[in-house]
Amino acid sequence: MSVDAFGESEEHSGLLKFSSALFYAGSSFLITVVNKTVLTSFRFPSYLCLGIGQMITTILVLYVAKMNKTVQFQDFDRSIFFKIFPLPLLYVGNHVTGLASTKKLSLPMFTVLRKFTILMTMILEVFILRKTFPRSIVYSVVAIVFGAIVAASSDLAFSMEGYIFILLNDAFTAASGVYTKKKLNDQGLGKYGVLFYNALIIIIPTILASAFTGDLQKAIAFEDWLNVTFVFCFLMSCFMGFVLMYSIVLCSYYNSALTTTVVGAIKNVAVAYIGIFVGGDYLFSWKNFIGLSICMSGGLVYSYFTFSNSQAAEGNKNREELKIHITSDSPGKN
């Protein structure tokens, strides 16, 4: 199996790569809307318990699918811990630092500083996955990071604690994406095995952390459990949590970890610009707005080069296969 300049397998068609990226972007946007409804509109008190519900849904859906032989992945044994490590630790770190940084930063600044995940992912792919990138991709990533620096330089609501948490969150996200790609390629767990065992391993520590911090008690005592609308939104969030995790793994499987990260950044275009006008915690400045726009432009340029080169590579491969086919059928001709 050959690997192209983007570090992606050429056996996957451009349509699969683009479709999986679009599926991830749509899933990420929808779960943002649903989570916002549960946590803000209904004021559900626990992020952790919502995450636990999403993990339980993932485990149940995949277990039932495995029992019905709809999907296949490795049965549990002691080797699973070594095969899946360090994904569970990275997931927990990503979740905790993400929540902490969300509380400390305005939504647009959170979105801007998350762009450093892209640079970190590229660096980790070079050192861990031994990938190389063409100049067009490197330049677009540099533009994204430059825009983030410009935007952050004018942050009038500066919070050192918030910046530390968001940069840690960037590092955890980048490492999680790269190691997910590595596990999909190296360990034989497959897409569904990575999802199932990652959720299975981290759910118990998450429940214990929720109980220790008092979040579990607050969630149990929540007054709207008899509200049909809230229950529907809560269950929808749990199901969308599974869909999001599946879409991330699927996008990473058909694309590179870097492409998955950039797609997530592009999805944040709508979130960032909406946050400028909605929320009340954004202090407008032209430097910040211009930097934000540079970030988004760089992300769109990256997407153009990635998927246009993918389509070109697929076309060249098809022409090469056709040429070989004609030659083999006509041995007497040049």
pLDDT tens for each residue of 301-334 = 877 777 666 555 555 555 554 454 444 444 444 4
Using pLDDT thresholds of 50, 70 and 90, give the confidence band for residue 227.
very high
Residue 3 φ/ψ, nearest 5 degrees:
-125, 135
Using pLDDT thresholds of 50, 70 and 90, give the confidence band for residue 234.
very high
pLDDT higher for 36 or 199? 199
Nearest-5° Cα angle at 264, 262 to 269: 95
Residue 76 φ/ψ, nearest 5 degrees:
-70, 135
- The pLDDT assigned to 330 comes to 46
- The pLDDT assigned to 311 comes to 57
Beta bridge partners of 9: 3
Beta bridge partners of 74: none
Rounded Cα distance, 73 and 55, in Å: 18
User: Helix 87-104 to helix 190-213 angle, to the nearest 10 degrees?
Assistant: 50
Q: Which of 199, 188, 178 has the alpha carbon at shortest distance from 83?
A: 188
Rounded Cα distance, 232 and 221, in Å: 18
Q: Which of 324, 327, 265, 328 has the alpha carbon at shortest distance from 297?
A: 265
| Tokens of residue 183, six digits | 């596990």
- The pLDDT assigned to 319 comes to 55
pLDDT higher for 238 or 189? 238
Rounded Cα distance, 10 and 300, in Å: 22
Beta bridge partners of 3: 9
- The pLDDT assigned to 232 comes to 94
Mean pLDDT computed over 100-121: 73
Q: What percent of the chain has pLDDT over 90?
A: 11
- The pLDDT assigned to 286 comes to 76
- The pLDDT assigned to 7 comes to 41
pTM, rounded to two decimals: 0.71
Rounded Cα distance, 67 and 88, in Å: 24
- Asked which of 47-56, 157-166, 214-223 is least confident by mean pLDDT, the reply is 157-166
Answer for the pair 24, 247: CB distance below 8 angstroms, yes or no. Answer: yes
- The pLDDT assigned to 4 comes to 40
- Dump pLDDT digits (tens) for 69-103: 888 888 888 888 888 888 888 887 887 777 667 66
- The pLDDT assigned to 276 comes to 63
- Asked which of 79-93, 102-116, 228-242, 253-267 is least confident by mean pLDDT, the reply is 102-116
Q: Which of 239, 206, 185 has the alpha carbon at shortest distance from 89?
A: 206
Burial 154-192 (b: 16+ CB within 10 A, else e): bbeeebeebbebbbbbbbbbbbbbbbbbbbbeebebbbb
Using pLDDT thresholds of 50, 70 and 90, give the confidence band for residue 191.
confident
- The pLDDT assigned to 157 comes to 61
Average predicted confidence (pLDDT) for the chain: 78
Answer for the pair 55, 244: CB distance below 8 angstroms, yes or no. Answer: no
- Going from the C-alpha of 90 to that of each of 19, 48, 53, 97, 228, the distances in angstroms are 27, 16, 19, 11, 35
- Dump pLDDT digits (tens) for 16-66: 888 888 898 888 888 877 887 888 788 888 878 888 898 999 999 999 999
